[in-house]
Each structure stands twice: as structure tokens, then as C-alpha cells.
Amino acid sequence: MNNSEILKILYENDGKFISGEEMAKMFQISRAALSKRIAKLKEKGIEIEAITNKGYRLRSISQNICSENVSLGIDENQLIGNEVITFDEIDSTNEYAKKIAKESKEGTVVVSNIQTKGKGRRGRNFSSQKGGLYFSIILKPKAGIEKVPFLTQVSACSIYKALEDLGIKVKIKWPNDIILNEKKLSGILCEMSCEMDYISYVISGMGINTSQLKFDDDIKDIATSLAKEGYEIDKIKLFWNILKHFEYFYSRFENDDYEEMIDILRNNSSIIGKQINIISPNETSNAKAIDINENGFLVVEYEDGTIQELNYGEISIRKA
């Protein structure tokens, strides 16, 4: 028996007291040993109330992700999150996931409270201070290589849905940003390792600004967090919920069934109908974003009337 099992019993008892005697019996340990284990859980920031003659009850599982609390709300039959590896601090969850991907089961998740070298797209840094949610999912899709860019959209839809469950309406800036009140709340970075015709693995990394109140000067005007926008949420429940939605959308993806996701992407796009810049390594072109097609490609119209469908790319909205 480990401390996570003690926490699981308290968690499943839904905030009600369980007597020390009953718990000690359940785990076949002495009440003194139980009390030591409870103290260890409390050291991790997990709030457990102890009252003489009543026993123990869970007040809060803590907002700090740790090995004891991370899996409590994940269904054991779920593929995504069946194994979760936690860190308090790491350079980048994507980098760690890449190191272990080959020998890990599909669905393994790496999550950290802080990243010291959070990676953004195109070699950029992703600010990953304490208070955010940073994780990477290891995937081994059966779908063809040409479909992999859509996994960014699978991730975006999962974040969108998990926030919608909390009553928070966000916009999706194709292909990889989640926008709240016109500012960036979350970014997604999918990375792939493949042979000529075979995907070895894909890492889907997601970073969500949950409770940070301050951002570095270079991003303070463009980034936001849920707390800054007035939403006090349970970060760990949000994490579980994103994984649950990812499980659902990923199975749709593997079955080539994009319809529901395309609806979400179209109906909640922050760029459709807007003038945008399409940024490629050598040039930036102006176009109007007109749709997201049935494959998740962004449909754009250039100033000369040419229409193009983009599978991936870097977009910025042009100021009027």
C-alpha cells in the first residue's frame, strides 16, 4: 500500500469523515503508522482534516501536481493518462517525453508544475512559471503522417471543451493557440518522430496559464491566465478533464471522424473572417482567413483572389 491509496480512499469519500480505525484496518497498519502517512500527504500541500472521534477527511487535493494526487480523477480504463509522470520542475515536458517515448506506452503523460526551458513553436521560449499547467502526451497514432498536423487541433478541441465545462468560453487561433478575451491563454506544441512512412511517436505538449498573475515584460500585453480574467479554477481537475476530452477526440481522430472537431474549430475560431499574416521562414504574406475545411486545413484567400488550403503554418492577425 502506498500513500496514494490512502488519498484515493479519502478522495472517493467525497469530503466526508472516515474514522482512523476503519482506515487503519483497511490498510492493515497501526493508527500511528496511518497518522505518519497522513502527515506525509499534508507535507505535499494536500489538505486533510483530522478530528478526534471523527477521523480524517479530505479538504483539498492541493493545486500542486504530485505523484500522490495526479491520477485520482483519471479513469483506470482511459488510454490517455493511464500512466502519469510528475515533476515539480523540469526543463521541458516535451523534451522529457521525447526521451522516454519509444519505450513508453501510448497515452503516457508527463506533467510539471514549472518548466525552466518551456518550448514554444519555431524555437521560441514558452514562459512556464509556477501556477500554470504544463504537460505532454505521448501518442503512437495509426493514422498516416499527413494527418499528424491535425493532432494540434485534437489538443485545441480538448482544451476548448474542458474550459467550456467550467463555463469559460475561449476562441481557437488556428493552429495552436487558445485565446481568452483577445489574449493568449494557452499554446500547443506537437512534435513528431518518424521514419519514411511510419510514425514512431508524436508528442502533444500543452501549456495553460491558470493562476499566474504576472507575466514577463515581453509578453505581458499579449498573454493572460484564467486567474487574471477572474476565473478561480481547480487546476488538477482541469488537467483530468482535458485528458478525458483528449481521449474522446483522439479516438475520433484515429477513426477519421473529424466532424465534431471541425465544428468546434470553425464555430470558435478567432481568425475566420479576419485579415491575417501568413508567416513562413522566408516571407510573410497577407490573406483573409475564410474557413477551416473538412480536413482541418485553414482556407485563405490572397489579395489577388487565389484560394489556398494550409495544413500547418504560423498566423498572426493583421491590425486594422
Min CB(20)–ligand BTN separation in Å: 40
Neighbours of 274 (CB within 10 A): 15
Pick between residue 46 and residue 188 the one whose CB is nearest to ligand BTN.
188
- Secondary structure class of 54 (helix, strand, coil): coil
Pick between residue 60 and residue 116 the one whose CB is nearest to ligand BTN.
116
Counting Cβ atoms within 10 Å, is residue 116 exposed (0-12), middle (13-18) or buried (19+)?
exposed
Residues, the chain: 320
| Contact status, residue 299 vs residue 309, Cβ threshold 8 Å | yes
> How far are the Cα atoms of 78, 138, 235 from residue 266, in angstroms, in the given order?
28, 27, 27
Question: Which residue spans within 7-122 are E strands per DSSP?
Answer: 47-51, 55-60, 84-90, 109-115
| Contact status, residue 94 vs residue 201, Cβ threshold 8 Å | no
- Residues contributing to the site for ligand BTN (CB under 6 A): 92-94, 115, 118-121, 124, 126, 134-136, 176, 187-189, 205-207
Min CB(186)–ligand BTN separation in Å: 8
Min CB(75)–ligand BTN separation in Å: 23
Pick between residue 86 and residue 92 the one whose CB is nearest to ligand BTN.
92
Min CB(8)–ligand BTN separation in Å: 26
- And the C-alpha cell for 109? 503523460
**Which amino acid, residue 58?**
L
Q: Which residues have CB under 8 Å from 138's CB, separation 6+?
A: 97, 100, 101, 104, 105, 106, 107, 108, 109, 110, 201, 202, 203
Min CB(276)–ligand BTN separation in Å: 17
- Secondary structure class of 25 (helix, strand, coil): helix
Pick between residue 58 and residue 108 the one whose CB is nearest to ligand BTN.
108
Neighbours of 130 (CB within 10 A): 12
Pick between residue 41 and residue 178 the one whose CB is nearest to ligand BTN.
178
Min CB(156)–ligand BTN separation in Å: 11
Pick between residue 177 and residue 247 the one whose CB is nearest to ligand BTN.
177
Nearest-angstrom CA–CA distance, 308 and 291: 11
Pick between residue 2 and residue 316 the one whose CB is nearest to ligand BTN.
316
Min CB(135)–ligand BTN separation in Å: 6
Min CB(15)–ligand BTN separation in Å: 31
Nearest-angstrom CA–CA distance, 64 and 62: 5
Pick between residue 11 and residue 120 the one whose CB is nearest to ligand BTN.
120
DSSP string, 127-169: ---TTSEEEEEEE---S-GGGTTHHHHHHHHHHHHHHHHTT--
Nearest-angstrom CA–CA distance, 9 and 178: 36
